[in-house]
Amino acid sequence: MTALRCILSGSQTGAWHMAADDFLLRCRGSSGPVLRFYAWDPACVSLGFHQKADCLDMERIRGDKKDIVRRPTGGRAVLHDGEVTYAVVVPLEEEKPRSLADIYEWINRGLAAGLQKLGVPAELQKRSPDFRAHYRNALSASCFSAAARYEIMVHGKKLVGSAQRKLGDAVLQHGSILLGDGHLALADYLASPEEEKARFREAIRERTTSVSGCLGRDVTWGQAVESLRQGFEQSLGVHLVDDEFTEEENTLIHGNEKQFAVFSSGQLQ
């Protein structure tokens, strides 16, 4: 049975979380595979590694005291507000070569199993969309505007948005598991006319769902994380070992926060 180091980081700033994910990736899984769950405080817009920040309304973001960070992974913008965020770092074993798609499916099977334990009828997307055509559309500013193969869906709507990055002999995959509708407010922070924002919000509403929307009741962060942990262990045959970052690791993570901060409503130390 594979052991995964499991870290529950709770609420931190977006810059800290991105620095933590990057740190785990650059360690190349030296302590073995790692599974981490976290939340964002304050609510934060994250941009894909190559995405330009000029798609955002900076005046509105400053006024509402939201943060902006750049993820170490690719993809499009996400507003992190009312979600469980997960991160998995997997070392690539030379004797067992696996493709990025295989890792993506493996992780998402564990997430889907955890969501099913909550009562959410989650399943994996079987087909890939035409991303070249999609990214010519204005809706492509959002990570939740299209679903890739093996992403988690409920009745044709996207529930989890994920991204990957391979560095050396390890892979980072992290993503948002929507508990509520907070992600829809991303439309408010786009540098677009109001009519276009309204169309964007409605289109994303039609293409996404949430845990609370599926179940007709609220689910707390802690409840969701416990089910996700059980889903990983039972469906993937792994053993989660509860752990936390060491003092040395925390110091290294804190030292790299500014690398990922695009805008901070507070003051990075």
Q: What is the CATH number of the domain that holds 101?
A: 3.30.930.10
d(CA 87, CA 213): 23
Q: Is residue 266 part of a domain?
A: no
User: Token pair for residue 14?
Assistant: 């977006």
Q: Residue 43: which region, alpha, beta or left (left: phi > 0; alpha: psi -120 to 50)?
A: beta
**What's the whole-number average pLDDT of the chain?**
90
Q: Is residue 9 part of a domain?
A: yes
Q: Is residue 265 part of a domain?
A: no
Q: Is residue 145 part of a domain?
A: yes
Q: Is residue 101 part of a domain?
A: yes
User: Would you say residue 23 has pLDDT above 80?
Assistant: yes
Overall number of domains in the chain: 1
**Closest C-alpha among 237, 267, 245, 235 to residue 113:** 235
Is 6 annotated in the active site?
A: no
Q: Is residue 224 part of a domain?
A: yes
Catalytic pick among 6, 55, 143, 214: 143
Question: Residue 64 carries which DSSP code?
Answer: T
Instruction: Dump pLDDT digits (tens) for 41-72.
Output: 999 999 999 999 999 999 999 999 999 999 99
Query: What's the predicted TM-score (pTM) here?
Result: 0.91
Instruction: Dump pLDDT digits (tens) for 177-222.
Output: 999 999 999 999 999 999 999 999 999 999 999 999 999 999 999 9
Domain hosting residue 15, numbered range: 2-258
Give the C-alpha distances (Å, rounded to integers) separating 125 from 110, 111, 139, 167.
Answer: 14, 13, 20, 26
What pLDDT, on the 0 to 100 scale, is given for residue 129?
Answer: 53
